[in-house]
Amino acid sequence: MARSAIMNVMVQAALKGGRSLTRDFGEVQNLQVSLKGPGDYVSQADKKAENIIFNELQRARPDYSFLMEESGTIAGSDDQHRFIIDPLDGTTNFLHGIPIFAVSIALERQGQIVAGVIYNPALDELYTAERGSGVFLNDRRLRVAGRRKLEDCVIATGIPHLGRGKHGQYLVELRNVMGEVAGIRRMGAAALDLASVAAGRFDAFWESDLQPWDMAAGLLMVREAGGFVSDMSGGQDIFASKSVVAGNEFIHPALLQTLKKPV
C-alpha cells in the first residue's frame, strides 16, 4: 500500500496525537475513583492532542487552513485546502474509562474530502483512505459488508442524550429500525462507526446532530470501501444537515426508507 506524502504526514500526526491520548487515558482510569472525577483532566488531554496534531500538520503544510473541534477555524493563505480535525472522538467513553475513542483527521481540497485518517489507539487500529485509492485498516484493504437484507444486519447509531438532539424524532427512527434488523449498537464514537461500516463490521450507521469533524474522514472511508453515504433525506448535504446514513448499495437505501416510515 503506497501512501502519498501528505498521507504520511497525516498518519504521523494521528499516531502522535493518539499516543498522547493513550498516556492520558491511563490517568483517567485512575481518576474514576476520585471525588472530582476526571472531567478537567480529559478536556486538557483533548486540547493537548489537538495541539500536537495541529503542530505536526502545520509544520508540513504551513499554508493550509484548519477546522478543529477545540480551536475552531484557522484560516491559512491557501483556502483551497483544509484539514478537518477531531482530536478525540468518543470523549464520553474516554471520560468513563471505556477504550473506544479515536483521532480523526481529514483533508478537504476545493470542498471535496480527498484523504482521511482515523486512529483508535486502544486497539492500535489505523484506518487510512485516499480518494480513488481505497481504504485500509492497517495494511488490509477494506470493503463494506455484502449483506442484502436488513434482517441480517447489525446497524450502528448515535443516541441523543441530555441537552442533545431531537429525542422524539429519534425514538420514531429507533422504533422503525429495531423491528427490522439483527442488532443495533451505540459505540459512542461516530468516526469509528463510519470506519467500522467501511470495514464491514457494521452493515450501516445513522446519526443526526453531528459536526464535520465527526464525519469527514469516515465519509471518505465508506465511499472508498464501495459504500454509500447521504444525509437523512438521501441527499448529499451531509455537513449542512449534520446527519448521516451510511451502508452498502442495498442496505443504505433500505435503511433510509425504514427510518422515514410514518408513525
The half-sphere exposure of 223 on its side-chain side, counting CA atoms within 13 A, is 20
Residue from 20, 65, 91, 128 touching ligand IPD (CB under 6 A): that is: 91
Report, in Å, the least distance between residue 256 CB and ligand IPD: 19
CB of 69 to Ca ion, least distance (A): 5
Contacts with ligand IPD by CB under 6 A: the residue count is 13
Rg (CA), the chain: 18
Residues 168-207 interacting with ligand IPD (rule: CB under 6 A):
188-190, 207
Q: How many CB atoms lie within 10 A of CB 158?
A: 22
Whole-angstrom Cα distance, residue 89 to residue 197? 16
Using alpha carbons, list the distances in angstroms from residue 229 to 130, 203, 212, 255.
Answer: 16, 12, 14, 11
In angstroms, the Cα distances linking 159 to 111, 184, 262 are 29, 11, 20
The annotation status of 89 as a binding-site residue, yes or no, is yes
- State the nearest-atom distance from the C-beta of 138 to ligand IPD, in Å: 22
Residue 193 binds to Ca ion (criterion: CB under 5 A): no
86 known member of a binding site: yes
* Binding site partner of 188, from Ca ion, ligand IPD, none, Cβ cut-off 5-8 A by kind: ligand IPD
Report the alpha-carbon distance of residue 186 to residue 159 in Å, rounded.
7
State which of residues 50, 173, 203, 214 lies at the interface with ligand IPD (CB under 6 A): 214
Q: Does 212 bind ligand IPD (CB under 6 A)?
A: no
When the beta carbons of 69 and 173 are compared against Ca ion, the nearer one is: 69
The DSSP letter of residue 1 is -
What single-letter amino acid sits at 183? G
Q: Any idea of the CA torsion for 136, 54, 189, 239, to the nearest 10 degrees?
A: -90
210 binds, among Ca ion, ligand IPD, none (CB under 5 to 8 A by kind): ligand IPD
Residues 77-96 contacting Ca ion, CB under 5 A: 86, 88-89
Residues that bind ligand IPD (CB under 6 A): 86, 88-91, 158, 188-190, 207, 209-210, 214
Residues that bind Ca ion (CB under 5 A): 69, 86, 88-89, 214
